Structure formats: structure tokens, C-alpha cells
């Protein structure tokens, strides 16, 4: 599973000031290549102290990252074997992409833990039917979002490395 990292960076418009940002890029990539805007998951509302944990009050999501996340889901999820199996079982209606951090995946899922949905017809995902849930939160009291499976996580990391303009340097076991 990918790890969120906090980086202290200078503000381009005010180089004497710093901001803490959150990204899935590993430190060795960030240190060598910097952070493109869309690979920043969000911003801390203040500089974090050593060892301090991010909270819902100290995290602000980054819209370009949210757009990137939903682009990945829209494009990669229809090829996900787990989602295809769910569509076959559903037959007609909608299959939902649930945030894996949700404490109640088999029960009532909080709206902020529903990432989006795909329409299903005749047991197959309808191309281009992804609808992102605008109420989904990247960070909640249960922590940072977690994609539901390794297939989507891998697709997200590939897209993040691409957006950063670097080759995917993760070991093969991390892909």
C-alpha cells in the first residue's frame, strides 16, 4: 500500500515562506524531481511539528489531485477484475467504488467514503459512465483515502509518477 508523505516546500510566489504538502511520491523521487501540482494530495493548514499527525482540521485537499484521482478511477477501474466481477453479480444498476478506509463496507457507508460509481448493464460496466462523488473526502477521521484494491492503487501510482515526469521507480513487488 502506498504511503503518504509530508514535504516542506517553499512557496513559489513567496520564496521566504514554506508550506507542508502531502503526496504519495516517495522521498527519493520528490527530492530529485520536486512536486508537480497535481501530485500534491493536499496542503497542511499550518507547518506541522516533528511527529505530529495530520487531522481533518489541518488538511486541505488539492483540486488538481482530486481530478487526477477520479481520472484514474474512470479510466482504470473498468479493467479491474474485482469491479468486473461485481458488475457481473449486479447485472443492472450501479457498482460503487468504496474507500477502503471505511469502517462499515458491508453496512451503511458514510457518503464521504464513496469515491464514485459506474453504471452496469447486462453484467458489464457501461463505458464512460463513471460518476465521481463530490462528497468523497481525501482525508477523514479514519485517515487518508485508500483505494479498494491493488489494481487501482497501482494505476494511481503509475499516473502519479507520469504526472511527476519520472519513470516509475517502485520495485516490481510494489507495482
pLDDT of res. 58: 95
Dihedral sign for Cα 24, 30, 36, 42, please.
Answer: positive
Listed by start position, the domains of the chain span 5-174
Ranges of the chain whose pLDDT falls below 50 = none
Instruction: Assess contact for 159 and 25: CB atoms under 8 A.
Output: no
**CA-CA distance, 11 to 87, in Å (whole number)?**
45
Instruction: Assess contact for 164 and 158: CB atoms under 8 A.
Output: no
Q: For 49-92, how does the pLDDT look when each residue is reduced to its tens digit (9 = 90+)?
A: 998 999 999 999 999 999 999 999 999 999 999 999 999 999 99
pLDDT of res. 96: 96
Please name which of 78, 101, 136 lies closest in space to residue 4, comparing C-alpha atoms.
Answer: 101
pLDDT of res. 171: 64
pLDDT of res. 29: 83
Please name which of 23, 131, 37 lies closest in space to residue 77, comparing C-alpha atoms.
Answer: 131
pLDDT of res. 94: 97
Burial pattern 43-62, b for ≥16 Cβ within 10 A else e, equals bbeeeeeeeeebeeebbebb
Instruction: Assess contact for 120 and 87: CB atoms under 8 A.
Output: yes
What Cα–Cα distance (Å) separates residue 138 from each residue in 12, 20, 53, 68, 101?
25, 16, 15, 12, 10
pLDDT of res. 35: 85
pLDDT of res. 33: 64
Amino acid at each position: 500500500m502506498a504511503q503518504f508523505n509530508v514535504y516542506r516546500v517553499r512557496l513559489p510566489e513567496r520564496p521566504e515562506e514554506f508550506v507542508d504538502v502531502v503526496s504519495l511520491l516517495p522521498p527519493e523521487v520528490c527530492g530529485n524531481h520536486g512536486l508537480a501540482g497535481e501530485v500534491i494530495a493536499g496542503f497542511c493548514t499550518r507547518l506541522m511539528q516533528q511527529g505530529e499527525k495530520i487531522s481533518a482540521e489541518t488538511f486541505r485537499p488539492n483540486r488538481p489531485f482530486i481530478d487526477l484521482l477520479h481520472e484514474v478511477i474512470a479510466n482504470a477501474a473498468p479493467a479491474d477484475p474485482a469491479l468486473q466481477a461485481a458488475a457481473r453479480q449486479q447485472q443492472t444498476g450501479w457498482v460503487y467504488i468504496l474507500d477502503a478506509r471505511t469502517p462499515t463496507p458491508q453496512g451503511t457507508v458514510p457518503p464521504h467514503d464513496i469515491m464514485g460509481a459506474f453504471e452496469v448493464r447486462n453484467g458489464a460496466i457501461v463505458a464512460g459512465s463513471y460518476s465521481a462523488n463530490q462528497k468523497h473526502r481525501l482525508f477523514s477521521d479514519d485517515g487518508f483515502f485508500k483505494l479498494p484494491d491493488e489494481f487501482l492503487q497501482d494505476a494511481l501510482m503509475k499516473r502519479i509518477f507520469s504526472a511527476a515526469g519520472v519513470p516509475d521507480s517502485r520495485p516490481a513487488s510494489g507495482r
